[in-house]
């Protein structure tokens, strides 16, 4: 079995985020980066399948050359090898990412393509779905549990839907996107980090993949949410109730 | 910083990857629990195995016994990042094998290493070091706990005190007198925690609450002679070498905690307003912050330099002693000023600086007190010959 899994490099949400002068991107100089949370769940799921089904796990990322480190994190967690498609964020949109990943699918022919359900920076939540469409493959998005059944022919996936769980079967090869509750991602261990140093990462330029790189979505502007107003201290419950009635008008 | 940027010429990408994995581990598995664990006077025993899982306990030990041999900067990063949890007791307790187990790795027989090191490095067993005695800690050569050979075992009598992980340790690396007076009569004996004749009393402390500290009583305590580390009466050198490691470890801890105090004070000084402006706009306070930063920068630079020298195979004993003093003084300065800048809040439980302030003295006393460090440095520099 072969699993292709994504590892997007995103700004760590714990960093202090500032908008760049252009108003269309984030200031990247003083922020920390990490693997997208949902991708981490996808990687963990891939590694669990690696153990159970002797699968090869290929970690791929699209990003600038620093995304190599993001891939290495996946390799340090236990991935077997990596693929980087080099491209700056500015020249990408969700659709182009999906079409790029489709090219990787055609090169690698994995049995399962695992992705995070969305990236925590753009929050678009569309790449997995677009990818399934472009490849005409079945999709199981927002997975909270994955079992491979029928001798590796079918993935039984539990999906979190409003107010409950839906269980669906999809034939392999398929696209699965991971939700947070799918698993508890492991930490890259020190021996894992040492081993990852020697694992192979193949690198492509976006141009190498012969894609139409015209964007369908262009970011026009970004703005920070309004700062929170300072709170007030109340002296007793009566005053609180009063304020909730007269000022906040919620009672 | 864990953004993958390399901080100085000593660090590689792998160092930074280790730092960032560790930072996440500490932020998620340790830091949120510290207030509870400090109150309880314990952290859960399972944490040893969790830490072992991501490779923290194996660092610097031989691979054949489950260790990972890496350069000294991994050790530095490990101590620095663990310390970000804000509790020295956690770091000292979780890492007590860092002082208890090196003598096993360097002096035990191959059989004994194979028996105990994998257990310690995988977090199954807890290791402690017992040198200090109620009769005195600084003057190690005068220790009074005896171990008398009787057939296939040693019979141990005496007391050890202030022992970190002393209540829970499964293997206690113990300095005992097997021969005559002075340093030439001292041996290191590994004492299993379940030996008959060993009892333990818990001690309450100013700081380091979540680490268990104990007095150990040996009352005709019987230990198989194969647990002797190295030849009989040749333990003193091992103890001294081990102190070097411990002192460097303490220096990194002190610097890391000083950093935390600085960060907390700086953030507060920017936020808190008095007399119509943020604290940092009052010259007296921002100069305090500059003094803290000055001490931190100097300490960091000399720590990195010393770590590098040790990696090159040097054992600069005098420099290690002075490093320990420099770093603990840096911590004392930063803790003191941070509490002052935080004002009343700095005296309240809940701020990092309040806890660190209570932890300054243990680092200036444990592992060789400040005065002893100066004395040893002077002697090592050849000033008394
Ligand atoms: C929280 C904590 C954890 C500890 N954990 C361990 C552990 O795990 N294992 C272990 O073996 N020990 C441990 N110790 C003990 C520690 O190493 C000793 O406290 C330390 O070595 C000092 O020994 P002492 O307390 O007996 O002080 P003493 O030796 O009695 O010294 C008292 C004071 O006099 C000064 N002094 C002594 N002699 C001289 C001199 N010749 N000239 C000038 N000044 C001098 C000392 O510097 C010190 O300030 C721990 C201590 C603490 C507080």
User: Taking CB atoms and an 8 Å limit, are B70 and A32 in contact across chains?
Assistant: no
Contact A31 B3 (CB under 8 A): yes
Q: Do residues B243 and B362 share a domain?
A: yes
pLDDT of residue A249: 83
B157 lies in which domain range? Answer: 127-236
User: Distance from the CA of B276 to the center of ligand 1, in angstroms?
Assistant: 47
CATH number at residue B102: 1.10.540.10
Task: Please tell me the total count of domains within chain B.
Answer: 3
- Residue B19: closest CA among chain A residues belongs to which residue? A190
* End-of-domain residue from the set B71, B88, B121: B121
Instruction: Sort B321 into a burial class: Cβ within 10 Å, 0-12 / 13-18 / 19+.
Output: buried
Percent of chain B with pLDDT over 90: 96
Nearest CB to A33; choose among B4, B21, B70: B4
Is residue B111 assigned to a domain? yes
Q: Could you tell me if B224 and B247 lie in one domain?
A: no
Query: Within this chain, do residues B214 and B249 fall inside the same structural domain, yes or no?
Result: no
- Hey, is the C-beta of A12 within 8 angstroms of any chain B C-beta? yes
Q: Is the pLDDT at B359 greater than 80, yes or no?
A: yes
Q: With pLDDT > 70 as the criterion, what percentage of chain B qualifies?
A: 98
Tell me how far apart the alpha carbons of residues B352 and B87 are, in angstroms, rounded to a whole number: 8
Q: Are A193 and B59 a contacting pair at CB < 8 A?
A: no
Domain with residue B315: its CATH number is 1.20.140.10
B17 three-class SS:
helix
Mutate to test the pocket of ligand 1, among B97, B144, B162, B249 (most ligand atoms within 8 A of CB): B162
In a domain, B259, yes or no: yes
Do B89 and B158 have their domain in common? no
Which A-chain residues 59-88 have CB contacts (< 8 A) with chain B? 66, 69, 72-73, 76
The reply to whether residue A188 touches residue B17, judged by beta carbons under 8 angstroms, is yes
Average pLDDT over residues B50-75: 95
- The span from the CA of B6 to the CA of B16, in Å, is 7
Domains and CATH numbers, chain A: 2-246 (3.40.50.620)
Q: Which residues of A touch B17 (CB under 8 A)?
A: 69, 72-73, 76, 188, 193, 196
Q: Which residues line ligand 1 (CB under 6 A)?
A: B 128-132, 136-138, 162-164, 205, 208, 213, 362, 365-369, 371-372, 375
The helices-and-strands tally (H runs, E runs) of chain B is: 14, 10
* Residues on chain B bordering chain A, Cβ-to-Cβ distance under 8 angstroms: 1-4, 13-14, 16-18, 20-22, 24-25, 53-56, 58-59, 68, 70, 74
B138 and B210 co-located in one domain: yes
- φ, ψ of residue B279 to 5 degrees: the values are -50, -35
Q: What is the average per-residue pLDDT within B64-76?
A: 95
Q: Residue B2 falls within a domain, yes or no?
A: no
For residue A168, which phi and psi values (nearest 5 degrees)? Answer: -130, 155
Cα–Cα distances (Å) from A88 to A66, A97, A105, in that order, read 10, 11, 21
Given the CA of residue B205, which atom of ligand 1 is nearest to it? 1
Q: Mean pLDDT over all residues of chain B?
A: 96
- Output the pLDDT for position B263: 97
Of A12, A15, A190, the CB nearest to B54: A190
Which of B76, B95, B121 terminates a domain? The answer is B121
| Position B3 in a domain | no
Which chain B residues touch A191 with a CB distance below 8 Å? 55, 58, 68
Q: Is A188 on the interface with B (CB under 8 A)?
A: yes
Residue B1 domain-assigned? no
- Candidates B251, B202, B229; CA nearest to B367 is B251
d(CA A158, CA A167): 4
**Token pair recorded at residue B170:** 């499964």
Q: How far apart are CA A99 and CA A107, in angstroms?
A: 13
Q: Which residues of A touch B25 (CB under 8 A)?
A: 187
Q: Which of A15, A32, A73 lies closest to B17 in CB terms?
A: A73
pLDDT at B6 > cutoff 80: no
Picking from B204, B236, B268, the residue at the C-terminal end of a domain is B236
**Per-residue model confidence (pLDDT) at position B5:** 60
Q: Please tell me whether residues B88 and B18 are part of one structural domain.
A: yes
Q: Do A190 and B25 touch (CB under 8 A)?
A: no
B3 pLDDT higher than 50 = no
User: Ligand 1, closest atom to CA B208?
Assistant: 1
User: Of B13, B22, B59, which is closest to A69 when you measure between CB atoms?
Assistant: B13
Partners of B54 on chain A (C-beta within 8 Å) are 187-190
What pLDDT score was predicted for residue A68? 94
Residue B147 shares a structural domain with residue B257: no
Catalytic residues of B: 246
Q: Which helix (H) or strand (E) holds B53?
A: helix B46-53
B96 — pLDDT class (breaks 50, 70, 90): very high
**B5 occurs within a structural domain:** no
Q: Select from B88, B137, B145, B210 the residue to mutate for testing ligand 1; criterion: most ligand atoms less than 8 Å from CB.
A: B137
Q: Do A194 and B20 touch (CB under 8 A)?
A: no
- Model confidence pLDDT, tens digit, residues B310-334: 999 998 999 999 999 999 999 999 9
The answer on pLDDT for B1 being more than 70 is no
Greatest alpha-carbon pair distance for chain A in Å reads 69
B269 with B352, same domain?
yes
CA of B20: which chain A residue's CA is closest?
A34
Question: At residue B79, does pLDDT exceed 80?
Answer: yes
User: How close B345 gets to chain A, by Cα (Å)?
Assistant: 18
Residue B295 pLDDT: 98
State residue A232's pLDDT score. 79
Whether residues B184 and B282 fall in one domain: no
Nearest CA in chain B to A10: B3
Inter-chain CB proximity B58 and A66 less than 8 Å: no
Atom of ligand 1 nearest to the CA of B175: 11
Same domain, B249 and B368: yes
Whether residue A190 and residue B74 make contact (CB cut-off 8 A), yes or no, is yes
| End-to-end Cα distance, chain A | 59
For an interface test with B, the pick among A7, A28, A190 (most B C-beta atoms closer than 10 Å) comes out as A190
**Cβ-based neighbours of A164, under 8 Å, separated by 6 or more:** none
Q: Which residues pair with A67 in a beta bridge?
A: none
CB contact under 8 A, B17 and A69: yes
Identify the DSSP state of A189. Answer: P
What is the residue-level pLDDT of chain A in tens, covering all 251 positions?
Answer: 999 999 999 998 888 888 888 888 888 888 888 999 999 999 999 999 999 999 999 999 999 999 999 999 999 999 999 999 999 888 899 999 999 999 999 999 999 999 999 998 888 899 999 999 999 999 999 999 999 999 999 999 999 888 899 999 999 999 999 999 999 999 999 999 999 999 999 999 998 988 898 999 888 888 888 877 777 788 889 989 988 888 888 87
- CATH number, residue B232: 2.40.110.10
Q: Reading across the β-sheet that carries A2-6, which strands appear in turn? A: A164-171, A154-161, A139-149, A174-178, A112-116, A2-6, A56-63, A81-86, A201-205
The model's pTM is 0.90
* Same domain membership, residue B274 and residue B198: no
| Minimum CA–CA partner of B29 in chain A | A187
Same domain (yes/no): B228, B245: no
């Amino acid at each position: 079995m072969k699993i292709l899994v994504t590892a997007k490099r995103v700004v760590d949400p714990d960093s202090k985020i500032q908008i760049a002068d252009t108003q269309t991107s984030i200031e990247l100089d003083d922020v920390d980066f990490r693997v997208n949370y949902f991708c981490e769940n996808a990687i963990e799921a891939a590694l669990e399948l690696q153990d159970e089904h002797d699968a090869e796990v290929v970690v791929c990322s699209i990003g600038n050359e620093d995304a190599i480190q993001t891939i290495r994190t996946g390799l340090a967690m236990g991935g077997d090898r990596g693929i980087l498609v080099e491209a700056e964020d500015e020249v990408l949109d969700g659709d182009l990412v999906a079409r790029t990943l489709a090219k990787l699918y055609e090169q690698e022919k994995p049995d399962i393509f695992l992705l995070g359900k969305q990236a925590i920076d753009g929050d678009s939540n569309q790449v997995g779905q677009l990818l399934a469409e472009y490849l005409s493959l079945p999709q199981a998005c927002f997975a909270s549990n994955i079992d491979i059944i029928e001798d590796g022919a079918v993935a039984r996936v539990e999906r979190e839907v409003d107010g409950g769980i839906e269980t669906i079967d999809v034939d392999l090869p398929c696209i699965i996107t991971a939700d947070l509750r799918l698993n508890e991602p492991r930490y890259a261990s020190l021996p894992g980090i040492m081993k990852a140093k020697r694992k192979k990462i193949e690198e492509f330029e976006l141009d190498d993949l012969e894609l139409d790189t015209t964007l369908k979505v262009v970011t026009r502007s970004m703005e920070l949410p309004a700062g929170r107003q300072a709170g007030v201290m109340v002296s007793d419950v009566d005053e609180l109730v009063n304020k909730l009635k007269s000022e906040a008008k919620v009672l | 910083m864990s953004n993958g940027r390399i901080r100085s010429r000593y660090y590689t990408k792998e160092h930074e990857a280790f730092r960032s994995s560790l930072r996440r581990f500490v932020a998620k598995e340790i830091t949120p629990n510290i207030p509870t664990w400090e109150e309880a006077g314990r952290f859960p025993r399972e944490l040893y195995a969790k830490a072992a899982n991501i490779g923290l306990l194996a660092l610097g030990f031989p691979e054949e016994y489950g260790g990972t041999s890496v350069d000294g900067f991994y050790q530095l990063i490990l101590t620095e990042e663990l310390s970000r949890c804000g509790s020295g007791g956690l770091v000292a307790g979780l890492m007590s094998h860092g002082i208890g187990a090196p003598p096993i790795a360097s002096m035990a027989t191959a059989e004994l290493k194979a028996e105990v090191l994998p257990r310690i490095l995988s977090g199954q067993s807890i290791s402690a070091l017992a040198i200090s005695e109620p009769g005195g800690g600084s003057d190690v050569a005068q220790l009074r706990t005896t171990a008398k050979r009787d057939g296939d075992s040693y019979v141990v009598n005496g007391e050890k005190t202030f022992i970190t992980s002393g209540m829970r340790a499964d293997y206690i690396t113990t300095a005992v007198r097997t021969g005559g007076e002075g340093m030439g009569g001292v041996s290191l004996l590994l004492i299993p925690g379940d030996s008959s004749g060993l009892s333990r009393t818990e001690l309450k402390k100013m700081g380091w609450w979540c680490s268990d500290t104990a007095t150990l009583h040996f009352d005709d305590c019987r230990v198989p002679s194969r647990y002797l580390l190295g030849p009989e009466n040749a333990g003193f050198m091992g103890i001294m070498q081990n102190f070097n490691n411990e002192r460097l470890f303490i220096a990194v801890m002190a610097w890391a905690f000083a950093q935390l105090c600085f960060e907390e004070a700086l953030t507060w000084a920017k936020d808190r307003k008095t007399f119509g402006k943020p604290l940092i706009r009052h010259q007296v306070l921002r100069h305090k912050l500059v003094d803290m930063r000055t001490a931190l920068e100097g300490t960091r630079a000399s720590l990195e330099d010393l770590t590098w020298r040790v990696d090159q195979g040097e054992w600069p004993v005098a420099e290690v002693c002075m490093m320990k003093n420099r770093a603990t003084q840096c911590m004392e300065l930063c803790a003191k000023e941070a509490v002052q800048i935080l004002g009343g809040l700095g005296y309240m439980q809940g701020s990092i600086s309040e806890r660190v302030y209570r932890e300054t003295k243990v680092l200036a006393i444990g592992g060789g007190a400040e005065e002893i460090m100066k004395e040893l440095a002077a002697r090592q520099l050849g000033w008394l010959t």
